[in-house]
A and B are shown apart, each in its own frame.
Chain A
Amino acid sequence: MDRSLGWQGNSVPEDRTEAGDDKEYVGFATLPNQVHRKSVKKGFDFTLMVAGESGLGKSTLVNSLFLTDLYRDRKLLGAEERIMQTVEITKHAVDIEEKGVRLRLTIVDTPGFGDAVNNTECWKPVAEYIDQQFEQYFRDESGLNRKNIQDNRVHCCLYFISPFGHGLRPLDVEFMKALHQRVNIVPILAKADTLTPPEVDHKKRKIREEIEHFGIKIYQFPDCDSDEDEDFKLQDQALKESIPFAVIGSNTVVEARGRRVRGRLYPWGIVEVENPGHCDFVKLRTMLVRTHMQDLKDVTRETHYENYRAQCIQSMTRLVVKERNRKDRSRN
């Protein structure tokens, strides 16, 4: 009987070795398991920003996505109070767990955005916030104690587009152009139960055209590897063509088709949040949480943060050179 020796001399049964291969089994195939175990112990974190005018269902959607109730004690402002309101940045953090995996989810909200009569540059506080997080990480990274760096960088920004307009409004364009180099933007078509299916298609096409026309770089789904199976490729293609995701959220559970589901009860019917025939909520959740969360973090780290860091270093170098030249000149 041919017995191959595994690492540390443990005998490994024959069927473990590759057929027709004389390679010995070293055992590093368990690496993914080791990484998995360590990551699970450490826990994951994700920072999601939601932006858009008030009344588009942002809070409801966040609650629906993560099955939480983050906004229970929120007080809604009346129109008069909002006249004086400026754009704020608020953070809610919540720890959720599923099958032993812990996620620290931070939601960054932008109350006041787009609500005033004059909304000139109302995206500035948002852009500044994102830059601040980059700056803080940059400092921490260059610091002495790097073991426990807290990563507050924004990994993804869901931008809510109103279904009541004829496509993108000037404010939408300005916001996305100001932020697309700083954060992954995923455009969302809000309150999609206002629209009939042909209207949804029409608006989506229009918005996609406008995004291209204005040169806005939204988050791109990575292309499938060519060796993936057809089903997966089709799914991926369908996902790309669903942008912007037409979503509906709900904080309430209703009875539909004999089941209790999250939904909205109208006199003319029941809208089910998780019904793919009603809206793209499931697609969004799959993309955001189940398939692309890690990629969103990677792109933030490798692209947006690196851009910021490069710019920072460049401008610092320029300052240092200027200062040195000035000193040289004053010495001569």
Chain B
Amino acid sequence: MSKGQSGLGKSTLVNTLFKSQVSRKASSWNREEKIPKTVEIKAIGHVIEEGGVKMKLTVIDTPGFGDQINNENCWEPIEKYINEQYEKFLKEEVNIARKKRIPDTRVHCCLYFISPTGHSLRPLDLEFMKHLSKVVNIIPVIAKADTMTLEEKSEFKQRVRKELEVNGIEFYPQKEFDEDLEDKTENDKIRQESMPFAVVGSDKEYQVNGKRVLGRKTPWGIIEVENLNHCEFALLRDFVIRTHLQDLKEVTHNIHYETYRAKRLNDNGGLPPVSVDTEESHDSNP
């Protein structure tokens, strides 16, 4: 799921991450269309393949978030959506005739895009992350990082990290879920040095030093997306896809989902929620 005010490059980044056009870019709203008055939730599913491994990727975008004049509680539709997915899964789990593989529509990861003002987090960022870090894995990302010089970038990251800490916001990888020392040292390093990842996304290619690279061409130079001296896109990609993809799913299932399930069972007096529709017939061989 990608979150943040419009225009922060969310769609471009998701496309870059998965090297395919998985996200439809909200081409600036037409004069006839208006900025959605409430936060919308748009989920698009894709199947992508690499090296014989197929992955069903669902990208959930939230146009309208943070764009209004009054953004109070604009995170509520999102929290609701996430909980609805947990509820769907729960209902399937407690069914008498369960499917062999329960369709998993739960949100495994939420990329929250921070605006690169260079000052600090915005009150809206804090409010959102406070509420949502309790229900989903949040990975804060600094959008459009080509706005900042190296010095500004490192100062901004330090300030953001400190603000997140002071406000008790546990972003992924959460400290309390480190399983062993090896995990802890690896994650500590990521938490304290790399995150939040300052990224630049692009779907255009240019020729640099004889190679074709993804980048942005400006009158003063070409910003290479995968060049670690320019931005941390490669770190984010490796982190989310190459090393921690499975862990993201596990934490979602073992912790966030279990928390939701426990709360629901508690509310229901220790009994599983009753499924209202009994006419549903299940295939025994999905």
Task: Indicate if the CB atoms of B143 and A164 lie closer than 8 Å.
Answer: yes
Within 8 Å of chain A (Cβ to Cβ): is B122? Answer: yes
Within 8 Å of chain A (Cβ to Cβ): is B69? Answer: yes
Query: Closest CB-CB distance, A302 to chain B, in whole Å?
Result: 33
Within 8 Å of chain A (Cβ to Cβ): is B274? Answer: no
| Distance of A166 Cα from B71 Cα, bound (Å) | 18
Task: Indicate if the CB atoms of B120 and A78 lie closer than 8 Å.
Answer: yes
**In the complex, chain B residues whose CB is within 8 Å of the CB of A118:** 69-72
| Distance of A44 Cα from B154 Cα, bound (Å) | 42
| Distance of A309 Cα from B119 Cα, bound (Å) | 40
Q: A78-B163, A82-B123, A196-B216 are in contact. Are A267 and B150 (CB under 8 A)?
A: yes
Task: Indicate if the CB atoms of B123 and A117 lie closer than 8 Å.
Answer: yes
Query: Closest CB-CB distance, A53 to chain B, in whole Å?
Result: 8
Task: Indicate if the CB atoms of A55 and B117 lie closer than 8 Å.
Answer: yes
**A172 to B, closest residue via Cβ:** B69
**B4 to A, closest residue via Cβ:** A164
| Distance of A264 Cα from B220 Cα, bound (Å) | 10
Task: Indicate if the CB atoms of A117 and B217 lie closer than 8 Å.
Answer: no
**In the complex, chain A residues whose CB is within 8 Å of the CB of B146:** 193-194, 266, 268
**In the complex, chain A residues whose CB is within 8 Å of the CB of B70:** 117-120
Comparing A90-98, A269-277, A286-294, A323-331, the segment that makes contact with chain B is: A269-277
One of A77, A117, A165, A271 near B72 (C-beta < 8 A): A117
Task: Indicate if the CB atoms of A268 and B223 lie closer than 8 Å.
Answer: yes
| Distance of A77 Cα from B217 Cα, bound (Å) | 34
Within 8 Å of chain A (Cβ to Cβ): is B229? Answer: yes
Within 8 Å of chain A (Cβ to Cβ): is B7? Answer: yes
Query: Closest CB-CB distance, A303 to chain B, in whole Å?
Result: 28
Within 8 Å of chain A (Cβ to Cβ): is B224? Answer: yes
Q: A79-B121, A267-B230, A268-B224 are in contact. Are A164 and B69 (CB under 8 A)?
A: no
| Distance of A210 Cα from B8 Cα, bound (Å) | 20
Within 8 Å of chain B (Cβ to Cβ): is A283? Answer: no
**In the complex, chain B residues whose CB is within 8 Å of the CB of A196:** 216-218
Task: Indicate if the CB atoms of A267 and B7 lie closer than 8 Å.
Answer: no
Query: Closest CB-CB distance, A291 to chain B, in whole Å?
Result: 25
**B143 to A, closest residue via Cβ:** A164
Task: Indicate if the CB atoms of B149 and A265 lie closer than 8 Å.
Answer: yes
Task: Indicate if the CB atoms of A77 and B31 lie closer than 8 Å.
Answer: no
Task: Indicate if the CB atoms of B123 and A271 lie closer than 8 Å.
Answer: no
Task: Indicate if the CB atoms of A165 and B117 lie closer than 8 Å.
Answer: no
One of A76, A83, A197, A278 near B126 (C-beta < 8 A): A83
| Main SS at interface, chain B | loop
| Distance of A302 Cα from B4 Cα, bound (Å) | 44
Interface-centre pick from A55, A82, A264, A278 (highest chain B CB count, 10 A): A55
Within 8 Å of chain B (Cβ to Cβ): is A20? Answer: no
Task: Indicate if the CB atoms of B167 and A80 lie closer than 8 Å.
Answer: yes
**In the complex, chain A residues whose CB is within 8 Å of the CB of B124:** 117
**In the complex, chain B residues whose CB is within 8 Å of the CB of A171:** 69
One of B67, B122, B216, B230 near A82 (C-beta < 8 A): B122
Count of A interface residues, CB-CB < 8 Å: 47
**In the complex, chain A residues whose CB is within 8 Å of the CB of B167:** 79-80
**In the complex, chain B residues whose CB is within 8 Å of the CB of A56:** 117
| Distance of A5 Cα from B130 Cα, bound (Å) | 87
Within 8 Å of chain A (Cβ to Cβ): is B118? Answer: yes
Task: Indicate if the CB atoms of A166 and B115 lie closer than 8 Å.
Answer: no
Query: Closest CB-CB distance, B223 to chain A, in whole Å?
Result: 5
One of B159, B217, B224, B230 near A78 (C-beta < 8 A): B159
**A277 to B, closest residue via Cβ:** B219
**A122 to B, closest residue via Cβ:** B69
**In the complex, chain B residues whose CB is within 8 Å of the CB of A165:** 5-7, 67
**In the complex, chain B residues whose CB is within 8 Å of the CB of A194:** 116, 144, 146-147
Within 8 A of A (CB), among B197-253: 216-224, 229-230
| Distance of A193 Cα from B219 Cα, bound (Å) | 10
One of A164, A265, A267 near B144 (C-beta < 8 A): A164
| Distance of A164 Cα from B28 Cα, bound (Å) | 12
Within 8 Å of chain A (Cβ to Cβ): is B170? Answer: no
Query: Closest CB-CB distance, B168 to chain A, in whole Å?
Result: 11
| Distance of A166 Cα from B117 Cα, bound (Å) | 17
Q: Mark B1-30, 1 if CB is under 8 A from A, else 0.
A: 000011110000000000000000010110
Within 8 Å of chain A (Cβ to Cβ): is B59? Answer: no
Within 8 Å of chain B (Cβ to Cβ): is A167? Answer: yes
Within 8 A of A (CB), among B57-87: 67-72
Give the 6 A-B residue pairs with the shortest CB-CB distance, closest first.
A55-B117, A269-B221, A269-B220, A268-B221, A79-B121, A166-B28
27 cross-chain CB contacts under 8 A? A53-B117, A55-B116, A77-B119, A78-B159, A79-B123, A82-B120, A115-B122, A117-B123, A118-B72, A119-B69, A120-B69, A164-B115, A165-B5, A166-B29, A196-B217, A196-B218, A197-B219, A210-B31, A264-B149, A265-B149, A266-B146, A266-B150, A268-B220, A269-B218, A271-B220, A278-B219, A278-B220
Q: A55-B116, A170-B67, A278-B220 given; name 19 further pairs at CB < 8 Å.
A: A53-B117, A79-B125, A80-B126, A80-B166, A82-B123, A117-B70, A117-B123, A118-B69, A118-B72, A164-B143, A164-B144, A166-B29, A170-B35, A193-B147, A193-B220, A194-B147, A266-B221, A268-B220, A269-B221
Interface residues in chain B, defined as those with a beta carbon under 8 Å from any beta carbon in chain A: 5-8, 26, 28-29, 31, 35, 67-72, 115-127, 143-144, 146-147, 149-150, 159, 163, 166-167, 216-224, 229-230
